[in-house]
Structures are given as structure tokens and as C-alpha cells.
């Protein structure tokens, strides 16, 4: 009985650890990673290196469909807070940073369809 209880406890702990490692991308992470991009996204010019570092970081974090969907939703939410956001600059940002994102960066993107 004690052996079975220990095994069950270890199994539950393992599942909890695995579940926490596979957590979705948070909007806080998206916002903080892309904060250096705000000026570029509204005024253009040169893309600041910290902005591209944030884009690259987010792309690396969003490797699963749920994470990409969450990142998409967070991007759309964050875009609403950038005063004077130029949609064409936002759409072209991944390419300017040398990052390939498997969905268009646009307010019209249906994030639930992102794979």
C-alpha cells in the first residue's frame, strides 16, 4: 500500500512538472518582449536590435499550436495599446528581424485558426 501511494505521488508530481513546462505564452511576456518595438511600429525607421531580439524570443517560445494562438491573441491585444500603430510596419516586422512566423501579423487574423 505504501509503495503504491509513493508511486502515485511521484506520478502526480511528474505530471504537474511536465504541465508547468508546457505552459502557454503569456501576454505579459509578449508585451515585455515587444516593448522595444513600439516606437518603430508607430514611426518607422530602423528596427532597434532589442526589438528583433524580442521578436526572435517570442518566435522561439511559441512552438505549439496553442502557444502560437495565444501569442497571436496577445499581439492583437497589445497592438491596440500602441498609439499610431502602422499595420504595414507590424506585418513586416518579423521579416525585418529575419524571423519567419507561420501566420500574418494583422488585426484581421483569426487567431483561432493559427496552426
pLDDT tens string 13-44: 333 333 334 447 899 999 999 999 999 999 99
- CA–CA dist 11, 45 (Å, integer): 53
- Kindly report whether the global pTM for this prediction surpasses the value 0.85: no
Q: What is the topology classification, in CATH, of domain 27-105?
A: Hydrophobic Seed Protein (1.10.110)
pLDDT more than 90, % of the chain: 67
pLDDT at 15: 35
Confidence category of residue 103, pLDDT binned at 50, 70, 90: confident
E-strand stretches of 7-113: none
Contacts of 85 (CB under 8 A, 6+ apart): 41, 42, 79
- CA–CA dist 10, 7 (Å, integer): 5
> What cell does 101 get?
512566423
Contact in structure between 29 and 71 (CB atoms under 8 Å): no
Amino acid at each position: 500500500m505504501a509503495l503504491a501511494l509513493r508511486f502515485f505521488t511521484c506520478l502526480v508530481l511528474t505530471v504537474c512538472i511536465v504541465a508547468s513546462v508546457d505552459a502557454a505564452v503569456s501576454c505579459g511576456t509578449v508585451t515585455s518582449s515587444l516593448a522595444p518595438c513600439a516606437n518603430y511600429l508607430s514611426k518607422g525607421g530602423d528596427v532597434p536590435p532589442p526589438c528583433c531580439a524580442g521578436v526572435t524570443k517570442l518566435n522561439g517560445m511559441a512552438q505549439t499550436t496553442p502557444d502560437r494562438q495565444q501569442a497571436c491573441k496577445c499581439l492583437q491585444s497589445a497592438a491596440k495599446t500602441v498609439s499610431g500603430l502602422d499595420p504595414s510596419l507590424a506585418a513586416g516586422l518579423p521579416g525585418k528581424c529575419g524571423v519567419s512566423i507561420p501566420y500574418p501579423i494583422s488585426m484581421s487574423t483569426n487567431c483561432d485558426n493559427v496552426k
